[in-house]
Structure 1
Amino acid sequence: MTKRLQPLARHHGIFFLILRRLRAPLILLITIMAISVLGLTLAPGTGENGQARYLSFFHALYFMSYTATTIGFGEIPYAFSDQQRLWVVFCIYMSVIGWTYTLGTLFALLSDRSLQQAIATQRFVRAVRRLREPFYLVCGYGETGRLICNALDRMRLRSVVVEIDETKVGEIELRSFAADVPALCADASSPEVLRYAGLGHPHCTGVIALTDQDATNLAIAIATRLMAPKLPALCRAEHRETAANMASFGTRHIINPFERFSETLAIALHAPAASQLLGWLTGLPGTTVERHRSPPRGPWIVCGHGRFGHWMVDAMDAESLPVTVIDRSEPPDGSHLWVQGDGTSAEALLKAGVQQATGIVAGTGSDIDNLSIAVTARELNPGLFVILRQNHEANQVLFDTFESDITVVPSEIIAHECLAILATPLLVPFLRDIRGHDETWCAAQLERLTQRLGWAVPEVWSERVNLRRSPALYHRLMRGETITLDKVLRSTADLGARLDCEVLYLDRDDDDHLLMPPLDTALRPGDELLLAGRPRARDAFALNIAYEHTLEYLLSGEDLPGGWIWRRLSRRGARPSKPQLP
């Protein structure tokens, strides 16, 4: 009951805030009205026989009500005397002063930032309370948050946004989302703000902390752990200390974009086909992945030894590759070659051995410096493999102009990781199993999948064989029928054609997991399938396993009557006729 009363208390707070700010003007208006009415009842009027006549309180109040509000003027219930007219003139000027003061205060109140924020918060709270479908709480609407919200919208999932920058909150209204996205301009590190945003809401299915401040993301992780311990929290952390602190509070998913890319680079150096397969499956929906050359093995140069540079050096050390670091800071004690200077100059690059190197990482915190490093290095060594770090989305045009081998965009890395976790939790063990396979197997699977589905990033989803998601298939399996993957992956338009999707992973309750299961695999009740394919194939597959009419047509080729009446008529028509008596 306490939680239900809190938004109401907020509403009352706004109401009393307005009354408190208008207290003096309202008191002034009431005083002017009281004095005017009292004086009008005391002022003598002229009667028919020259006797004094006085207005009653009702007539005086009625007269002052429409006169003081400038609605009109008329002497009622009879013509006024000169004393009454003199008093009315005084009252008119007093009411003008009172109304001017009141309206001025009211306009100043309406333009007050605190009141506007309070009203916006109340409107936001009401919008969140009305949500009756699953939604994700996204904290931070920067470049990463924008990608996440767009992807969730394409996946038909709702989102609620908390962003401290008012300009970014205004951008949400300009976006053409399929469903409204409630947004609040506030500090997401406040537990009260998180509660207003839906933390604890029965339909909130997860929290995504994507701000550019590790301290804020840590506060969100702690608040989620304490206020909604069952909700999954995906938190961005660019410092190892912050990640360790989040892990100590039981945060399930901690995403460091630089660490993720270092893992991707290590896989690309060790198994290029596995890296391209992972990139194709975890890309942003709606984009196209192009086949690129794999990072070569040999001497490398890392420009910039910050957080990103540290992870790059660690990844190359894991593959036993020689690394030379170019940085403006003093060289630390270590086994790496160190050139103190600026990687944008040819002198520093030549000193680091750019002409003999096989690859270079331009990983400073400045996009302009990174582009300058890449251009200068390519001029000195045209065959150099270039990994280019992009810090800001606004510079996308410049990075598109320069043809780097790999462009590292931290916001996209985080978005890929979040979508892989949120959209299909089954994708996480699948990706883990892929990393354990050799290069030949990954190359064969990549070739097979891209030949069927193309290089556009497929839609990845999961389906479970249960009564809620696939009633038709579930009932048949429970009756003991044997149904293979090949049967349910057929198209109803052409039984000889397969849907544009592939089963990547099959998870069973008895811990029997199948990676890339063959088409003759028999399904069981409770199986969970991970699929990749086109959106139309997803809808068609859902129909195949959910509706008895569609599934019967796939299994037997018989088109059953569609409605209850037609089924009854078809059964009656199928009954054998009675023999005729002689």
Structure 2
Amino acid sequence: MNKQKLWEENIRTVSIALSFMALAVFTGTMGYMFLDEAYNWIDALYMTVITISTVGFKEVHALSDAGKLFTIFLIFISFGIFGYMASAITRFILDGVFRRNLKDYRIVKKIDKLTGHVIVCGFGRNGKQASLELMDHGEKVVVVDSKETAIDRVRMFPDLYFIQGDATQEEVLDMANISKASALITAIPNDAENVYVVLTAREMNPELRIISRSSNSQSDHKLKRAGADNVIMPDRLGGQQMAKLVAQPDVIEFLDNILLQSSEGVKLEEVSCHGLAGCFIGKSIKELSVRNRSGANIIGLKNDEGAYVYNPAPELVLKDNYHLFVLGSKEQIVRLKKLLQRGN
């Protein structure tokens, strides 16, 4: 039995127990009022409660024979009801369902406050790897998966947020705060579901960067038409990687060491020229003296036409809408960003 069903069953059991208890209190109150005119509704309710709880307080008024027989009847039926209710509530607490759902509720509230986070749909092999890599680079990640077993794996990583639900549904993506997210990765094994996720996400947030997994090469164009910015085929990438490790082993290991290592080491990062300092306008890369002033290296860029320039010439003049690809340590890249923005 999964935890959602366990939660529903425990809620139903506690509700039934409380209903029986309420019925017993109502029956006892009405019974004392009916059998003895000396009891008003407050006295009758008091007598019912002390009888059911077996605390042993003295009765408010002396009971008639009928009242005594009714009290015996009430004690017998209340034993079973009280025991059933205590058992239901105890199981509800000991099963951890209440505590777990309270924790999940708090996580949903935290997700409501996130901005610029990344949503990862599916926590299989690819989704898990993507989530951990993003988390390693300081990104806030919200995992969406419909499977309870997957959510249990997510719980093992305290820094990951999660929503259990179907990512193709708008209300689930809305719970993941998609309107304020910066990107979405859908890594569901089923291509049809990925198409639905991409369509729904693109409609809900037109500015969102969407990256989708694809298991079939025929799904590539469908996913892009649906709104995916990039489509990744893990099987194809894996095959290419293995082939290149045979043909160019040192080159591949060198690139892997840069791209896949911890964010604390040397890394390749994109740096926007937006807001370029006034003193750099119309200046070339050579005139910026990036290597000497920051320690980082510009190894490529994306120009205003969307074209990629590899190993740009020193004479190339930077523009405000260029994106630089920079190789360096975390500190060096921070210095470069400050240099481009402030000009010193």
Query: What TM-score range do you get, normalising by the shorter chain?
Result: 0.7 to 0.9
Q: What number of residue pairs does the alignment pair up? A: 338
> Quick check: 1:283–1:457 contact (8 Å CA) kept in 2?
no
Q: Do residues 204 (structure 1) and 177 (structure 2) align?
A: no
> Quick check: 1:189–1:219 contact (8 Å CA) kept in 2?
yes
Residue aligning to 1:69: 53
Q: Describe the SS at the equivalent of 1:503.
A: strand
Offset at residue 255 of structure 1 (A):
1.4
Offset at residue 209 of structure 1 (A):
1.8
Q: Aligned to 2:28, which of 24, 36, 48?
A: 36
> Quick check: 2:303–2:321 contact (8 Å CA) kept in 1?
yes
Give the 3 Å change call, closer, same or farther, for CA 105–261 of structure 1 in structure 2: closer
Q: Aligned to 1:537, which of 323, 329, 332?
A: 332
Q: TM-score, normalised by structure 2?
A: 0.75
Give the 3 Å change call, closer, same or farther, for CA 233–521 of structure 1 in structure 2: closer
Q: Deviations over 1:323-372 (max 9, x none)?
A: xxxxxxxxxxxxxxxxxxxxxxxxxxxxxxxxxxxxxxxxxxxxxxxxxx
Give the 3 Å change call, closer, same or farther, for CA 19–114 of structure 1 in structure 2: closer
Q: Aligned to 1:95, which of 43, 55, 78?
A: 78
Q: Deviations over 1:250-293 (max 9, x none)?
A: 43322123333555678789x94996498348731339xxxxxx
Q: Do residues 148 (structure 1) and 130 (structure 2) align?
A: yes
Give the 3 Å change call, closer, same or farther, for CA 74–489 of structure 1 in structure 2: same
Q: Aligned to 2:39, which of 42, 55, 60?
A: 55
> Quick check: 1:158–1:181 contact (8 Å CA) kept in 2?
yes
Q: Distance in 2 between matches of 1:112 and 1:256?
A: 41
Q: Describe the SS at the equivalent of 2:57.
A: coil
Amino acid corresponding to residue 182 of structure 1 in structure 2: Y
Superposition pairs for residues 172-187 of structure 1, below 5 Å?
172-175=154-157, 180-187=159-166
> Quick check: 1:477–1:524 contact (8 Å CA) kept in 2?
no
Residue aligning to 1:283: 259
- 5+ unaligned residues in a row in structure 1: which ranges? 1-14, 45-52, 288-455, 468-472, 492-497, 552-582
Amino acid corresponding to residue 219 of structure 1 in structure 2: Y
Q: Describe the SS at the equivalent of 2:325.
A: strand
Residue aligning to 2:141: 159
Give the 3 Å change call, closer, same or farther, for CA 163–19 of structure 1 in structure 2: closer
Q: Describe the SS at the equivalent of 2:218.
A: helix
Q: Distance in 2 between matches of 1:280 and 1:274?
A: 10
Amino acid corresponding to residue 232 of structure 1 in structure 2: R
Q: Distance in 1 between matches of 2:266 and 2:209?
A: 25
Q: Distance in 2 between matches of 1:511 and 1:210?
A: 27
Offset at residue 84 of structure 1 (A):
4.4
Give the 3 Å change call, closer, same or farther, for CA 279–187 of structure 1 in structure 2: same
> Quick check: 2:283–2:317 contact (8 Å CA) kept in 1?
no
Q: TM-score, normalised by structure 1?
A: 0.48
Q: Distance in 1 between matches of 2:191 and 2:99?
A: 29
Offset at residue 152 of structure 1 (A):
0.7
Tell which structure's C-alpha radius of gyration is larger. 1
Amino acid corresponding to residue 149 of structure 1 in structure 2: S
Q: Distance in 2 between matches of 1:511 and 1:137?
A: 26
> Quick check: 1:482–1:523 contact (8 Å CA) kept in 2?
yes
- 5+ unaligned residues in a row in structure 2: which ranges? 1-6
Q: Do residues 234 (structure 1) and 234 (structure 2) align?
A: no
Moved more, 20-29 or 533-542: 20-29
Q: Say what the alpha-carbon RMSD is for the aligned residues.
A: 4.4
Offset at residue 518 of structure 1 (A):
5.1
Offset at residue 114 of structure 1 (A):
11
Q: Deviations over 1:505-536 (max 9, x none)?
A: 23443779753235676544444322111122
Task: Give percent identity, aligned residues only.
Answer: 19
Q: Which has the higher helix share?
A: 2
> Quick check: 1:235–1:254 contact (8 Å CA) kept in 2?
yes
Q: Distance in 1 between matches of 2:252 and 2:35?
A: 95
Q: Describe the SS at the equivalent of 1:506.
A: strand
Superposition pairs for residues 217-366 of structure 1, below 5 Å?
217-261=194-238, 272=248, 276=252, 279-280=255-256, 283-286=259-262
Q: Distance in 1 between matches of 2:50 and 2:90?
A: 23
Amino acid corresponding to residue 271 of structure 2 in structure 1: E
Amino acid corresponding to residue 160 of structure 2 in structure 1: V
Give the 3 Å change call, closer, same or farther, for CA 272–28 of structure 1 in structure 2: closer
Give the 3 Å change call, closer, same or farther, for CA 489–69 of structure 1 in structure 2: farther
Offset at residue 213 of structure 1 (A):
3.2
Give the 3 Å change call, closer, same or farther, for CA 28–281 of structure 1 in structure 2: closer
> Quick check: 2:283–2:318 contact (8 Å CA) kept in 1?
no
